[in-house]
Amino acid sequence: MGKKKIKKPVLEEKLVELEHKWKRALADYANLEKRVAKEKEDFVNFSKGTLIIKMLAVLDDLERCQRHLKDEGLNLSIKRFKEVLKSEGVEEIEALGGDFDPKLMEAVEVTKGFKNKVLEVALKGYLLNNKVIRPAKVKVGGGK
Amino acid sequence: MAEENKKRKEKIMSKIIGIDLGTTNSCVAVMEAGKAKVIPSAEGKNTIPSAVEPVKNLVGEVAKRQMVLNPENTIYSVKRLMGRRFSDSEVKKTQKMVSYKVKEGKEGMAVVEVNGKDYTPQEISAKILAKCKADAEAFLGEKVEQAVITVPAYFDDAQRQATKQAGEIAGLKVERIINEPTAASLAYGLEKKSGETIAVYDLGGGTFDISILEIGDGVFEVKATNGDTHLGGDDFDEKIVDWIAEEFKKDNGVDLREDKQALQRVRDAAEKAKIELSSTQETDINQPYITQGKGGQPLHLSMKLSRAKLEQLVADLVEETMKPVESCLKDAKIKTTDIKEIIMVGGMTRMPKVKQTVKDFFNKEPNHSVNPDEVVAIGAAIQGGVLGGEVKDVLLLDVTPLTLGIETLGSVRTPLIERNTTVPASKSQIFSTAADNQTQVEINVLQGERPMAADNKSLGRFVLDGIPPASRGVPQIEVAFDIDANGILTVKAQDKATNKEQKITIKGAVGLSDEEVKTAQAEAEKHAEEDRKKKEKVEARNQADNLVFTAEKTLKDAGDKVKKEDKEKVEAEIKNLKEVLGKEEASKEELEEASKKLSDELQKIGAAMYQAQQQQAQGGPQQEAPSKKKGKKEDKTKDKEKAEEGEVVE
């Protein structure tokens, strides 16, 4: 011990405090390890997701174009585009005709029709590995 | 005492989260290992829309998505009602703005009615806080029971009390309610300032607040606040939407605002353009097939929006924020020159025009390095950390300010511990001798960023001797660096064959003044190019030297298995390379050229030997000197006496 004698209770208190801080640090680390593993996995999907979201806007345009042009070549191109997306784990949200589900869709308009039914899809929604990357924008029936 | 310890334990063992409970969006953060970190929501976003559908218990993004369908049941902007009486003018204003029903509840307080049931603003806010809590628990992997929640500086007692109640309903013990501008100041570490006056400019999605604070000894005093409760990012978006629609109408005669679906696309495009123009000068707004013309033909939206045009569109909105700023200064009885720091909060402050206007007004660069959407939550988390004992006397882990390494062959600095490594840290590497029968090595411990040993600071040196005589590159000498948490560096060298070791302890390898670190880094940057050339030359020289050694050894080992004329050719090239090496001023190119010639000849011998299938294990042909194993210097005999470091074997 040093020149100054520190009282036992003070030391005990300090010991308890340090022990807890140490445990806290260990816990933080253990949790971090778990999270890092999960984040690594998420990161791959996420980075893919940001690119795919941008590509979806292009697909929307092509589909709008097709609705107008009705060109067979363009049709094949869109099909191929979708196949590529599918192979990457992208899936279209089936919204039309079903019940409105805010977990997968965003209501943009309420129109005449069966209550809570999706009557029209204004913008297709997509899932990436079963997670929503873009909710479908839909028109929903308001009843009456 | 035991009871107290137990209490303390509970307090320390559970995290206190910081929540920015906003009008439009909310954000959660927590202290982790001494740093505040924003907690992403279950939906993967850093902020949560402050929207609630209480019947089906939908909160955040999900509640927002069904708002159009369910406008009477979806509560948003409830913060505007918190702790206010129904007769309050702000409540009346909000009532006109929102689509749900606001009415008078118990004791004249404002409540909302959903599906025939009354909800207090506290209950609605509690649902947002409960989501914050759940998301934090999912992120941290542990229970969260305590929180620090922020409120606007102008909130009165009743509003603060209501916010606290909301936390309690959500199952959170509200450790403290702090002011949003105070939280933002904490995020910038301003609590250490004393006697300074600062301004916090907060332009969010739907509200604008300006606060003047005085900081003294860690205490924040609000001198004055002002603002506009109905001015924010949404108004900016609306200006852009109007402009797009007007331009489109001029060209096509169709008003996009009358086509709901088109309007939705224009809104999205306007927000995207606004965000893009914070970092670019011009952006394209392209929405093909946006609507149909009068004759049914498809119409496309395609225009350019420049930053200058955008600034012109929103100039009056930005200007409007300055009036409250002026009044606020007046109320606080201070001049713009008295303001030492300006802090920017809210997503809209990313707009260059906003930054510039604020800068021009105060004649000072505002602080905007912390994400303005997250800065308040971060500050709240820091406050939580202080209360939880995590921030105060937290064990601050230091970092090595400069790279630590040793001198190796050719006066090259070989780094062992890179700069910015968090200490305690240790690292070891195997080195070898540079000359045959070398019995000792000298370890010169270096600190600095320059590749050549002499340009760095030598922290100390020592000699490890008693290495059993062997060919160069054979002995294995492990050099281990170890820095403890106090910055004390121990360097140990051990001969793996004899286990003989030698070490040195150096204090102050970590403690450097900022000035010293800056100087060292600036030096390294300044000399980067010439240093690189110098190092490359030394490397070429080391490689050439090693090649000579290999060639001589190969010839010796091969003996008479090699044709005489081949042997002579190699000998000639060895002689040539040695001559080049002998010249101090020989360039990297000269060395490489001579090395290549020798290497080519040597390969022929190797090939011939393989063909003869007489190759022996130790006399194998060398295609090229291994780059990692550098040779010794030309004057071998002279070097033998001198202790020298070898190169990495591993």
Query: Tens digit of pLDDT for each residue in B215-238?
Result: 877 778 888 889 998 999 989 999
Q: pLDDT band for A24, please (50, 70, 90 cuts).
A: confident
* Active-site residue list of B: 20, 79, 180, 202
% of chain B with per-residue pLDDT over 70: 88
Instruction: Render pLDDT for B515-573 as a digit per residue (tens, 0 to 9).
Output: 666 777 777 788 888 888 888 888 888 888 888 888 888 888 777 777 788 888 888 88
How far does CA B357 lie from the centroid of its chain? 28
pLDDT of residue B508: 56
Distance, CA of A52 to CA of B192 (rounded, Å):
45
Q: What is the pLDDT of residue B2?
A: 46
Residue pair B74/B52 in contact by the 8 Å Cβ criterion = yes
Q: Does B116 touch chain A (CB under 8 A)?
A: no
Nearest residue, CB atoms, A65 vs list B58, B62, B289: B289
Mean pLDDT of B629-636: 35
- Give the confidence band of B398 by pLDDT, cuts at 50, 70, 90: low
Of chain B, the end-to-end C-alpha distance in Å amounts to 56
Asked if the Cβ–Cβ distance from A102 to B58 is below 8 Å, we say yes
Q: What is the Cα–Cα distance from B206 to B228, expressed in whole angstroms?
A: 9
Judging contacts by C-beta atoms under 8 Å, the chain B residues touching residue A16 are 5, 8-9
Shortest Cα distance, chain B CAs vs residue A121, angstroms: 11
User: Which carries the bigger pLDDT value, residue A55 or residue B587?
Assistant: A55
**How much is the pLDDT for B618?**
47
Do B65 and A23 lie within an 8 Å CB cutoff? no
Check residue A1 and give its pLDDT: 45
The distance of B397 to chain A (nearest Cα, Å) reads 12
The pLDDT tens digits for A68-120 are: 889 999 999 999 999 999 999 999 999 999 999 999 999 988 888 898 999 99
Q: Would you state the pLDDT for residue B318?
A: 96
List, in sequence order, every beta strand (DSSP E) within B240-334: 282-292, 298-306
Residue bearing the bigger pLDDT, B365 or A9:
B365
In this prediction, residue B393 has a pLDDT band, given cuts at 50, 70 and 90, of very low
Q: Name which of A8, A19, A21 to mutate to probe chain B: the one with the most chain B Cβ atoms within 10 A of its Cβ.
A: A21
Within 8 A of A61 by CB-CB distance, chain B residues are 288-289
Nearest to A127 by CA among A95, A99, A101, A90: A90
Model confidence at B397, pLDDT cuts 50, 70, 90, reads low
Stretch among B390-404, B510-524, B609-623 having the lowest mean pLDDT: B609-623
| Token pair listed for A61 | 């345009």
- pLDDT at residue B514, as a whole number: 65
**Residue numbers in A near B5 (CB within 8 A):** 12-13, 16
B581-596: pLDDT as tens digits: 888 788 888 888 888 8
Question: Do B1 and A67 count as a contact with CB atoms less than 8 A apart?
Answer: no
Query: How many Å lie between the alpha carbon of A118 and the closest alpha carbon of chain B?
Result: 11
Higher pLDDT, B480 or B638: B480
pLDDT tens digits along B297-341: 889 999 999 999 999 999 999 999 999 999 999 988 999 999 999
Q: Is omega for the bond preceding B352 within 30 degrees of 0, making it cis?
A: no
Q: What pLDDT does B613 receive?
A: 53
Tell me the mean pLDDT in the region B625-638: 35
Select the residue from B66, B99, B271, B297 to test the A interface by mutation, using most A Cβ atoms within 10 A. B66
| Contact status of B289 with chain A (Cβ, < 8 Å) | yes
The rounded distance, in Å, linking the Cα atoms of B50 and B58 is 11
Q: Would an 8 Å CB–CB cutoff place A67 in contact with chain B?
A: yes
Q: Say if residue B156 is exposed, middle or buried (CB neighbours under 10 Å; 0-12, 13-18, 19+).
A: exposed
Q: Is B67 on the interface with A (CB under 8 A)?
A: yes
ω before B424 within 30° of 0 (cis)? yes
* Phi, psi (rounded to 5 degrees) for B286: -120, 115
* Mean pLDDT value across residues B10-31: 86
Q: What percent of chain B has pLDDT over 90?
A: 46
For residues B612-639, average pLDDT: 40
Q: Do the beta carbons of residue B488 and residue B506 sit within 8 Å?
A: yes
Q: What is the pTM of this model?
A: 0.66
Strand A90-92 and strand A126-128: the pairing is antiparallel
Most B CBs within 10 Å, among A8, A104, A106, A109, to test the B interface: A106
The first and second tokens of residue A60, run together, are: 């929307």
